[in-house]
Amino acid sequence: MADVARRAGVSTKTVSNVLSGNVPVSGATRERVLGAVDDLGYEINVTARILRRGRSGLIGLAVPELGQPYFGELADEVLAAARRHGLHVLIEPTGFAREHELAALRVPRRRLLDGLIFSPAALDQGDVAVLEGLDYPLVLLGEQIFSPRVDHVTMHNVDGARTATDLLLDAGRRHIAALGILSAPTAGASRLRFQGYREALAARGIGVDERLLGRADEGWHRANGARAMASVLDSGVAVDGVVAFNDALAIGAMHELQVRGHAIPRDVAVVGFDDIEDARFSVPSLTTIDPGRREVAQVAVDVLRRRLDERETPHLTGTPPVRHLAALRLVERDSTPPRRA
């Protein structure tokens, strides 16, 4: 760093400020420092930084997969929120596998991370002790595990699915399929969204018809949405509405409906969940539930940063564990009929 400072004609403190990004530096000075870094081939010694500061400035994000658009877009939001705090993010897909989720909590490279934002899909209530026993800041996402001793940021899964189903019921639809049913006992989002679907039907005196339930144990992807929709249609049951437990399933279902000659929304109205970017550009554009993905990311990073500051400043009084539910929003587009005034 001293070599870089001499080459750039600045102090070592200025070099540190440029490389950490935590203190504003003028554009011209920043360019001079970065030019010297390139000229000299300087690389930050992360191990030395950790030993000196006790923090690396690197946090982890462990999610089931990036192939599901929701998690890919969530990762983008976490990266943006972390950048505002001067933090960098290491992303690790865990593949919906218990062993990979446990590894994300324990692997040796965990020592490089100041804290972890973790969206478990395979761990369950029996793993609470593992999460509570960690010696670094952890913020849980999703609904899979809840412990009053661990910070947790999630969404209104039940209310969101109930809102989606109510929209179709209000439009006069009575034969509404639910796509995204999972067999796994740890399938938290599926279980909660199915609960919201059931509650909306029950409030109108409508029972659940098993033929209208589309399974998607292979994952909530477009192809599985098409297969689940095909299975429901092949059963011979009448269908005039679809609540899909995520937007990818909904887009796959719309494809299958249109291939079979069903007009959307005239014959079958469709509602998704997640409000991914593709929902705006599907044909027809997809009505969906925005579960507050940006809020989830921002609050998770804010909470993690607060925990890091509390560890670095022992005299700060630690705040109680957070449980935050992001606000949801119904986004109406062309896959459902316009509501009457």
**Using one digit for the tens of pLDDT, what is the confidence trace for 247-260?**
999 999 999 999 99
Q: Do domains 55-155+292-327 and 157-290 have the same CATH topology?
A: yes
Q: Measured between alpha carbons, how far is 224 from 184 in angstroms, rounded to an integer?
A: 16
pLDDT at 186 over 70: no
Beta-carbon contacts of 88 under 8 Å, excluding residues fewer than 6 positions away, are: 57, 58, 59, 82
Q: Which pLDDT tens digit goes with each residue over 49-107?
A: 555 556 788 999 999 999 999 999 999 999 999 999 989 999 999 999 999 999 999 86
Give the range among 100-109, 138-147, 269-278, 311-320 with minimum mean pLDDT. 311-320
Give the range among 70-79, 118-127, 157-166 with minimum mean pLDDT. 118-127
pLDDT at 110: 63
pLDDT at 315: 62
Q: Residues 298-330, buried b or exposed e (16+ Cβ, 10 A)? A: bbbbbbbbbbbeebeeeeeeeeeebebbbebeb
Q: Percentage of the chain with pLDDT > 90?
A: 76
At residue 120, φ and ψ (nearest 5 deg) are -80, 150
pLDDT at 319 over 90: no
Out of 3.90.660.20, 1.10.3720.10, 1.10.260.40, 1.20.1440.130, the CATH code matching 2-44 is: 1.10.260.40
DSSP 8-state class, residue 337:
P
Q: Is 336 exposed, middle or buried (0-12, 13-18, 19+ CB in 10 A)?
A: buried
Domain spans in the chain, listed from the N-terminal domain onward: 2-44, 55-155+292-327, 157-290
Q: Measured between alpha carbons, how far is 104 from 258 in angstroms, rounded to an integer?
A: 41
What spatial distance separates the first Cα and last Cα of the chain, rounded to whole Å?
66
pLDDT at 293 over 80: yes
**Given this structure, which CATH class describes domain 157-290?**
alpha beta
Give the range among 179-183, 227-231, 237-241, 337-341 with minimum mean pLDDT. 337-341
pLDDT at 112: 83
Residue with tokens 């933090």: 87
pLDDT at 47 over 60: no
CATH of the domain spanning 55-155+292-327: 3.40.50.2300
Q: Measured between alpha carbons, how far is 318 from 313 in angstroms, rounded to an integer?
A: 10
pLDDT at 143: 84
Q: Copy the structure tokens of residue 78.
A: 């976490």
Q: What's the chain's average pLDDT?
A: 91
Q: Which pLDDT tens digit goes with each residue over 6-36?
A: 999 999 889 888 877 666 788 889 899 989 9
Q: How confident is the model at residue 45 (pLDDT cuts 50, 70, 90)?
A: low
pLDDT at 48: 57
